[in-house]
Amino acid sequence: MEYGASVDLFASADARQMDRLVQKGHVQPPVTFARNKLVVVVAKGSTPHIQHWADLPLASRIVVGVPEVPVGQYTRHILQQANLGMPDFQTRVEAKIVSREFDSRQVLAKVRLGAAQAGFVYQTDALSAPELDVVSIPEELNVAANYFLAIPNKAPNPQLARKWVDFVLSDTGQHILRSAGFMPFAPGH
């Protein structure tokens, strides 16, 4: 890596960023180690109350990720897909967007603080906010967000990094990730 301290391992949910690092010869080919999906978090007791995906355009204020980050890209894709079955769904939801944040946790914070009624976040982040309701996004619309690990070509401790990757991909490592809310993942697929 060109900037900052030397690292033994690089993790990212941004496939484009990882591809750039591979193309520039900074990292070894990455492995996918986890998957996540988006959900909509909703402030409990808010009016109107959003209980189902189809209710989302009724929300008074919605927060999403900026289009430059994965959570924003996935949200946009989901809304475009939803438009195919529910005309004007995307337009009606986008008319309610009051803020665009740089990551899922910032979106979650806006809903927690009452700055928005609903927001698109990763399922794993929603688990940290039991005070909010969670509305599932239909599977046929949702996107699997892949998380990647890569060992930098100039890693100071590449053997240690390889051991960590092996642990994360092991049954034990995958069990830990599933218990944190990540979707089941079969390494190598």
CATH number of 38-136: 3.40.190.10
pLDDT band at 108 (very low <50, low <70, confident <90, very high): very high
Strand order in the sheet with 118-122: 97-101, 62-65, 118-122, 38-43, 132-136
Tell me the H-state helices in 95-170: 104-112, 123-126, 158-169
Amino acid identity of residue 189, one-letter, is H
Any idea which architecture 10-35+146-179 has in CATH?
3-Layer(aba) Sandwich (3.40)
In angstroms, the CA 36 to CA 25 distance is 27
Give the domain ranges of the chain: 10-35+146-179, 38-136
Round to the nearest angstrom and report the end-to-end CA distance of the chain: 27
pLDDT at position 49 is 86
Strands 38-43, 118-122: pairing kind: antiparallel
pLDDT at position 85 is 83
In angstroms, the CA 25 to CA 118 distance is 41
Q: Tell me the pLDDT of the chain averaged across its residues.
A: 92
Sign of the CA dihedral running 72, 78, 81, 86: negative
Residue-wise pLDDT for 47-102, tens only, equals 788 999 999 999 999 999 999 999 999 999 999 999 888 889 999 999 999 999 99
Residue-wise pLDDT for 17-37, tens only, equals 899 999 999 999 999 999 999
Q: Do domains 10-35+146-179 and 38-136 have the same CATH topology?
A: yes
